[in-house]
Structures are given as structure tokens and as C-alpha cells.
Amino acid sequence: RNKNDITQKFRVTPLSFSGWMARTPFRSTLSLQRWRAGSEVLCRSVLLVLFFLLQHLAPALVPGASSPLASWTIRYEDPHVLVVDKGSGLLTVPGIGPEKADCMLSRLRDVGYPEVTHAPHRLDRDTSGLVVVGRTPAAHRALCCQFEAREVTKHYEALVLGWPAADEGEVDQPIAKVQFEGESHARMRILQGGKGRPSLTRWRGLDRSPLA
């Protein structure tokens, strides 16, 4: 026999790991499937834990401050106004203290909109939605007047726990920022007894879905 015959005799054909497992007994293949399934569950669990830690625990180091992971997107722009889609976890305007200076307005100025210094309206930090801001003093004044005259209609969607008896209704109660004992910062709440500024909310249910 020549050298080529010997080489061909002992040549090893490349075979993928999955292909090798396909030629093993059924028990080995079943073990691999279980290992893959377990690994996928473990990876998903780890990712969910990391996401929870980053989204909730890190921002909680400074109660009431903006989350560094909170996002925003400009939905409309012209020479007079900007319409910004503010994500949850982001303050609309700066709070009290340097640790609450990070907000939607400051981030807009950081990316090239230095003229945006005020907001004619705002959304709570943990509420996501559209915010319109003026790019000129005249536009800002015009927007403020429209909100003050209640010429602007706002629509919110919320996921709530529990099913109200009625399918729709309204809440006509004054609201104001109130800080209860033990809380780190004030929150907007309904006030009894006529104190606070007037607020009317009409609501209706869109869907009733069980948790399971």
C-alpha cells in the first residue's frame, strides 16, 4: 500500500456536534434536548432578573430621579414645536436638587435643541406618552394658553388590576401634589374637600382580560 491509501484509511470525516448526537442512542438525544430546554429557561430567567435590577433598583438609588435607562423619541418637529414620546422613568422637567436635573428637557438640550427650556405641560415620571414643547417664546406662550383654556384633550391608556363594575364613568375631583409621611417625594393625588385644582377624567374600559 502506498502513502495515499494509508491516509485515506485513517481520514476522519468532519461531523457537527448535532450530527454526532443524531447518531448516538435515543437516550443521549433526549438528554441533549432537556439540556437545551433547561439552558433556554435559565438564560431567560437571568435576563429577566438583570432587566428588573437595571430598570427598578438602579433608579431607586435616588428616589424620584430619572432612570438612566429611560428613553425618549422625537415624533414630530417643525420650526415652532417638538412632539416628544417620553418613556416611563423619565422626568419631564427637572426636580429639586442636582440629582434630579436629568429630565426630558435637559436631554433635548444635550442633543441640539438648546432653545427648549420650558414645557407647557408635563407627564409624571412613570407615565409614558407624548409631550409637546415650544421652540420659540411665542410658541411656548401659545401652547400654555391652550392648555390653560382646556383646549387640549388628553387620552391615557392604563393597565389596572381589578374589574370595575361599570364599563365607563367619570372622576370629577380636585387634584394636587401631596407627600404622605414616609414617602420620599410628593405625588399627584385626588384631594377631598374641594382643595386643589379642578380635574375631570372620563374613563371607559377597553378590554377585560384575566391574568391567567
What does the angle CA 190 – CA 191 – CA 194 come to, to the nearest 5 degrees? 130
Report yes or no: 100 and 64 within 8 Å, Cβ to Cβ.
Answer: yes
Rg (CA), the chain: 29
What are the DSSP calls for 146-207, one per residue? HHHTT----------SS--SSSEEEEE--EEEE--TT-SS-EEEE-SSS-SB--EEEEE---
Among candidate residues 124, 126, 172, 207, the one labeled active-site is 124
Helix or strand or coil: residue 141?
Answer: helix
Task: For CA atoms 204, 209, 210, 212, give the dihedral sign.
Answer: negative
Rounded CA-CA distance 84/144 in Å is 16
Is 124 catalytic? The answer is: yes
CA 207 vs. chain centroid, Å, equals 21
How many whole angstroms separate alpha carbon 74 and alpha carbon 139? 17
Continuous segment of H or E residues that includes residue 33: helix 26-52
Q: Which residues are catalytic?
A: 124
